[in-house]
Amino acid sequence: MKQLDLKVLKTMRTRGHHPVAEKSAMTISKSGENGYLWFGIGLAGAAFDGKHRKQWLAASLLGPLAIGLNFLVKLVVRRPRPELEGLPPLGGAPSSLSFPSAHATASFAAATAMSRIRPEMKLALFGAAAVMAVSRPYLGMHYPSDIAAGAVLGIGLGAVAGNVLEGLEEDPDAPYDF
């Protein structure tokens, strides 16, 4: 498994690289720092979907909360970030720990929970989560297995959070703006 992980990482670091693609991946990755993208999506949902405002506001906190939980797992596992000779990472990270990917955890947690609020947005939410996650090994910040583990952890967190969100009352008098 370790050999396959390294082989896929090397492929992602050496194929499909162009300055525009790299800049795009860096921008996407930066938007995922601390769950900011998902916090923003949750706030936008609260602003535009009055019937589910409480759910969106609660969901907006899931990305940042998932980052915190993810860091606890990183402290237990203590896997260092990848180092490929001649292929330095194309970005910085708040810690030297790699497993699991916090970007993947936060993204899949938020996508899972938010798609319970608005199932019709499931494809877009999971698409955004996948793009966020793939940007990390592309930039050399994570092994692919870090991404897979983060996605699994995130989906689990999102499912639990989704159950909690469904328990929040909708506002029947609020306008449906979506």
pLDDT in tens, 100-128: 999 999 999 999 999 999 999 999 999 99
Q: Do the domain assignments include residue 17?
A: no
Q: What is the mean pLDDT of residues 30-35?
A: 86
> 157 lies in a domain?
yes
Q: 167 pLDDT exceeds 80? A: no
Residues 6+ apart with CB under 8 A from 46: 52, 53, 56, 57, 60
The pLDDT, as a whole number, for residue 171 is: 61
Question: Given this model, what pLDDT does residue 34 score?
Answer: 82
Residue type, 125: L
Count CB-CB contacts under 10 A for residue 27: 10
The model's pLDDT over 70-102, given as tens digits with 9 standing for 90+, comes to 999 999 999 999 988 888 888 877 788 999 999
In a domain, 53, yes or no: yes
Residue 30 has pLDDT above 80, yes or no: yes
pLDDT at res. 93: 79
Q: What is the pLDDT of residue 173?
A: 61
Distances (CA, A) of 39 to 26, 62, 83: 19, 8, 31
**Beta-bridge partners for 87:** 84
CB neighbour class for 163 (10 Å; exposed up to 12, middle 13-18, buried from 19) = exposed
Is 21 inside any structural domain? no
For residue 84, what are the β-bridge partners? 87
The answer to whether position 89 is within a domain reads no
Any domain includes 18: no
Residues β-bridged to residue 97: 80
| pLDDT of res. 2 | 87
- Does a structural domain hold residue 176? no
Residue 137, preceding bond cis, omega within 30 degrees? no
How many domains are contained in the chain?
Answer: 1
Residue 105 CA to residue 82 CA, distance in Å, equals: 18
Q: How far apart are CA 168 and CA 79, in angstroms?
A: 38
CA count, 13 A, side-chain hemisphere, 100:
24
Average pLDDT, the chain: 90
Cis status, amide bond into 100, omega within 30 of 0: yes
Per-residue confidence (pLDDT) for residue 176, from 0 to 100: 55
Decide: helix, strand or coil at residue 80.
strand
State which residues form the domain around 73. Answer: 2-6+32-81+97-166
pLDDT score, position 175: 59
Q: Is residue 88 part of a domain?
A: no
